[in-house]
Structures are given as C-alpha cells and as structure tokens.
Structure 1
Amino acid sequence: MMQLKWEKEGYIVSDDKTLLQMGKIEAWISGAYWAAGRSREIIEKSIQHSLCFGMYDKDGRQIGFARVITDQAVFSWIMDVIIDQEFRGKGLGKKLVECIISHPDIVHTKMGLATKDAHGLYRQFDFEMDECMRRPLL
C-alpha cells in the first residue's frame, strides 16, 4: 500500500495510522449521528480493517478523520468523514475528500458513501444519488 501525505496551507493529510489520535476519533465518531454510541473497541477494530485518513494542523493536532473500506480493485466505501467543529467552514472537508478519492490505492475503484447532510460536498466530486439497499445490523 502506498502512503499518501498531502500538505497545504499548514494542514497535512496522511494515511499513516500511527499518527491517528484515538481519543479524538472516538469522541467525534461516537457523537456523530451515523455512529452515536459506537464503542472505542468497535472504532479501533474498524480502523484496523480500513484505509484511514487523518488531517492535522501545523502543530500535529488531529483535526479530521475519514476511513475507506475497500478491496482496492473494484469498490471503495467512504465512511466516518469528520472535521473537528472548531475547524469547520474552512474547506477542510473538501480537501480531505480530495485526498481520499485521489489515493493511488483506490483512485480507480467505484466509490460509494452514505450521508444525510453533506450531499453538496460530495456532488462536487461527481457523486450521484443511486439506488442502494442495505441490511440493518442484527
């Protein structure tokens, strides 16, 4: 797997899992509408089995996170995209998605995601509404 590192305007995006700050990720994810109450154990397991992206400020403080479930050949599912509340409204979510969709391990895969409130963000990257079926957690 190739490692990605993007730097611009004092922010860094990396897929290096050793840089991830689990306390922050747990707080963001477990409080998000799509994963409310998800335990740290489940968050850590999901990270272990995903391609992950951390976004950091110039001081190394993690300010964003996303992960991708992928076979790296046919399909990738983007999940848990989040920017710290303090840093929202600066276009950082857009920069994070740019890094995800251009990552060399998944750039040629078909990509999907689910969102209730960020359709405008993903439409900028040619994501379209499509029929999707799902099986709920049993």
Structure 2
Amino acid sequence: MSVTEISSWTRHGFEINTDKSRLDMDSILKMLGATYWARDVSPDALSTSILNSRAYGLYSPDGEQAGFGRMVTDITRFAWMSDVYILPIHRGNALGKWLVETMVNDPALASVTRIMLSTNDAHSLYQHFGFKIIGSDDEQGRQTMQLKR
C-alpha cells in the first residue's frame, strides 16, 4: 500500500477517509485558524501543508467535515502527527480516539517505526496509544511525544 492510495474506515455512521478531494478546506482552515498551534500560520501555508501530507478527513453521517488530522511522513521510518481535531459538536463520542487509532494503525504507514507529535492539552489521549513524553517543545507548555514501534 502506498501513502497516495485512498483508504477509508467507517464506524457508527462516521467515516475517516484519506481522499484529499473530499476535504472541506474552508472548514478545516477555519478550525485550525482558531487553534493555539496554527493560528499564526497563513491559510495558504496550512493548505500547502495539508496537500503535502497524508490527510485524514473525519466525516459525520451526513457527510460534513467532523474532524481532521494529518501525518507528515517519509512512509518508511518516520511520521509527524499534526493538526488533529474534532469539531466541538462531535466531541465526547470517542471520535478523537478513533481518529488517532486510525492514523497510528494506517496500513499505508505500517513500516513507520517512529511517530512524533507536539501538544499541550491532549497527553492522555496520545498516551493511550503508547506515546511517551520525551521533552518540552517550547515556553507555551507543549510537550513533544513519541511512539516507537
């Protein structure tokens, strides 16, 4: 399987899909623009980063963008998990766990032995999947986390 192949997973009427043509970029850019980690990044730069990553769109049963995440990866050894979010209206339904689980277990990234990320507010979510804090990222309290497999 290649990182450019489109993959799809379904659960309880929701779908995670890697087809970038399905992404609601306006919704994603609006949500990311409100986050602590991407609010200072231009919409053009965010769009380019999404298009050059393995993107995971999470869609509600009615087809609307309900969440998003992406992996920046060389497909063989390393990946950086980024921009993971669930829209507030869909939180509390374990969709964040499912999205992270899907990203970590994506067959297209099966040979990746190290996945890293940086967060200041979701440590327990990532620790559930084996990520460990390996250090501070910046003065804003972000922690760098790593999953070695």
> Structure 1 length normalisation: TM-score?
0.92
5+ residue gaps, structure 1, are none
Aligned CA distance change for structure 1 residues 131 and 108 (closer, same or farther; 3 Å): farther
Query: Counterparts of 2:110 and 2:122 in 1: how far apart (Å)?
Result: 21
2:51 counterpart letter in structure 1? Q
Letter in structure 1 aligned against 2:37: W
Q: How far apart are the structure 2 equivalents of 1:14 and 1:54?
A: 5
Higher strand share: 2
What is the identity, as a one-letter code, of the residue corresponding to 1:113?
Answer: L
Q: Which residue pairs with 2:17 in the alignment?
A: 14
Counterpart code for 1:91: A
1:27 aligns with 2:30: yes
Report the TM-score, using the length of structure 2 for normalisation: 0.85
Q: Would you say the 8 A contact 1:78–1:113 is kept in 2?
A: yes
Deviation for aligned residue 1:108: 2.7
Alignment counterpart, residue 36 of structure 1, candidates 35, 39, 52: 39
Letter in 2 for 1:28: M
2:103 counterpart (100, 104, 128): 100
Post-superposition Cα deviations, 1:14-56, rounded to whole Å, max 9, x if no partner, equal 0110100011001110110111132211111101111100000
Report deviation, 1:3: 2.1
Rounded to whole Å, the distance in 2 between the matches of 1:74 and 1:131 is: 21
1:126 alignment partner AA: G
- Compute the displacement of 1:128 (Å): 0.4
| 2:142 corresponds to | none
Cross-structure match for 2:126: 122
RMSD: 1.4
